[in-house]
Amino acid sequence: MRRRVRSVNEWVDHRTGIQSAVRQFLYEEIPASSGWHQVFGSVAMFLFMVQAFTGALLAFNYAPTPGDAYNSLRYILTELTGGRLMRGLHHWGASMIVVVVVLHMVQVFLYGAYKKPREATWMVGVVLLLLTLAYGLTGYLLPWDNRAYWGTVVTTQIAGQAPVLGPYLSRLLGGEGEIGVVTFARFYGLHVLLLPPATIFLMVLHVFLVRKHGVAPLPGDEVKARKKFYPQQVFKDTLAIFIAFAVLFLMAVAVRVPLEQLADPTDTSYVPRPEWYFLFLFQTLKLFSGPLEVVGSVVLPGLAVLLLILVPFIDRGRMVKVTQRTAALAFVLLAAIGWGGLTAAAVKSTPKAALAEVDYSGPTDWMQLSPEEMVGIAYFRQENCVSCHAIGDHGAGVGPDLTKASIHKDAAWMIQHFKRPSAIRPGTSMPPIQLSDAQLNSLAAFLLKLNEKNATALDNAPDFAVQGALLYQANRCAACHLVNGGGMKIGPPLNGLSKRQSRDWVEDHFADPRKMAPGSIMPSYKLAPQDLENLTSYLFALPD
């Protein structure tokens, strides 16, 4: 049997050379100083494979056209088995690969591993960094929500500011007019068709160059006995990859990736925000205005990239220990402080409109409920009704499933049942609910609306919307305004309010209605800051 296996192995090796190539790869000699500081390249390659794999899985259920893209992504997130995990891995993998590639570049820079004869290896690495960022730019539009749309508007406008090439870049990206089908198709084509093969080619070239010139040894390491890549360095790389994937998987499971509402080109009040790793550039643009805007958007980033490429030709000195590379250490420290400061400033300047956004990656049935039915959710949660009653797949099974139409009675019957359960249903263990008639009526209204299809509204209605609806009802706003078909038409309907007014205007209107709308009969409301935040966020979440 062993002879037959050996014969097959020899045949495969003779015809393909795979086994010899693997042995040569694993048993290549590396400097004695090689260790943990050199695992970032392997981790980056692994994360690229994760991105390619999860991207392919998402593509099986993704419709690459505007509008359909948004609906298909919602399908992936809400109905497809493992869809939320796939998107989480892809989303957070994009952020993690940026971090790892940057750390890899910093490690090479600090150790001076770009020096002769490794100049080409460094330059290919810089291009790979740019491609990594290009994935973030082109993939940003693909969810086709408001955040993606308006972020891409800014991107195409910046590209159009480039000297000489600006108009051509704008035309190439399809951003001359409004962002639409052409822009979407070209970003999708870049993200899926052009960037992956270019990345694979450059990764293979990068590994070839690393193998050709060898891993850069530390000064004085040349006289020490070299070691094999396998098993010590393979173990370190494997362990680093395992840790990276564990962190990525934890992020994908624990941190929900939000999805905003469908892209709305008419929502000019929306303030675009890029991904976190582009926030420093976003903040830099604020330092330049008017004719100088091109300096922050094109000139400075272009000079930074050019400087990175030319690093091996600027620093041509001999290799020294990393502790003696004070200029390199100072440069990295200053760059980190500058990047961190600009990013922190951008986060701090995030407008209030972005603080309580609705997550459209989950069911949004609750948005169609009237304020009174939303208030019913608040009382349902307050009374902890799920401790006895089932709501579809959730809750206990002591009492009946409240989504079943067969148990629904009218509101009057429900209110009496809430007040005196044992009188309506002899033998029940349900205690009386100590709420007013108005509150009980709201609870009944919600339960009458509840069915098997919209039961997810109970779990997905965000707390700010429920608390906002409570304030809406408590202040009798329905006596003048219409929301989701409920209320009066004395004042303007509040559905679609976010498209007509800014958040600051609405908050100022609560404080002094006549100042903001002369002739208004609405009284002023002195709300606590958190109450004002919840009520305004609820009104801005109402559908058109």
> Beta partners for 227?
30
CA–CA dist 484, 369 (Å, integer): 7
> Beta partners for 30?
227
263-265-270-272 Cα dihedral, nearest 10 degrees:
70
What pLDDT, on a 0 to 100 scale, did the predictor assign at position 355? 47
CA–CA dist 422, 430 (Å, integer): 7
- CA 103, distance to chain mean position in Å, is 21
The reply to whether domains 31-261 and 365-541 share a CATH topology is no
> Beta partners for 487?
482
> Which tens digit of pLDDT belongs to each residue from 356-374?
567 788 778 888 889 999 9
> Which tens digit of pLDDT belongs to each residue from 269-286?
777 888 899 989 888 888
| pLDDT of 405 strictly over 70 | no
DSSP state of 145: B
Domain boundaries, the chain: 1-30, 31-261, 365-541
Place of tokens 């940057």: 102
Neighbouring C-beta atoms of residue 28, cutoff 10 Å: 15
Tell me what the mean pLDDT of segment 240-260 comes to.
94
* Residue 437: partners with Cβ closer than 8 Å, 6 or more residues away: 415
Neighbouring C-beta atoms of residue 120, cutoff 10 Å: 15
- What is the share, in percent, of the chain residues with pLDDT greater than 90? 47
Tell me what the mean pLDDT of segment 417-437 comes to.
87
What pLDDT, on a 0 to 100 scale, did the predictor assign at position 336? 95
> Which tens digit of pLDDT belongs to each residue from 375-385?
999 999 898 88
SS3 for 34? coil
Neighbouring C-beta atoms of residue 506, cutoff 10 Å: 19
Tokens linked to 159: 């590209």
How wide is the angle at C-alpha 50 spanned by C-alphas 49 and 56, nearest 5°?
90
> Which tens digit of pLDDT belongs to each residue from 499-521?
888 888 999 999 999 999 898 88
Give me the numbers of helices (H) and strands (E) for the chain, helices first please.
25, 6
169 or 181, greater pLDDT: 181
Q: Does the CA dihedral 146-148-151-155 come out positive or negative?
A: negative
Tokens linked to 44: 């980056």
CATH of 365-541, one of 1.10.760.10, 3.40.50.720, 1.10.1510.10, 1.10.357.10: 1.10.760.10
- The superfamily (CATH) of domain 31-261 is Cytochrome Bc1 Complex; Chain C (1.20.810.10)
Q: Which amino acid is at 452?
A: E
pLDDT bracket for residue 313 (50, 70, 90): very high
CA–CA dist 275, 148 (Å, integer): 10
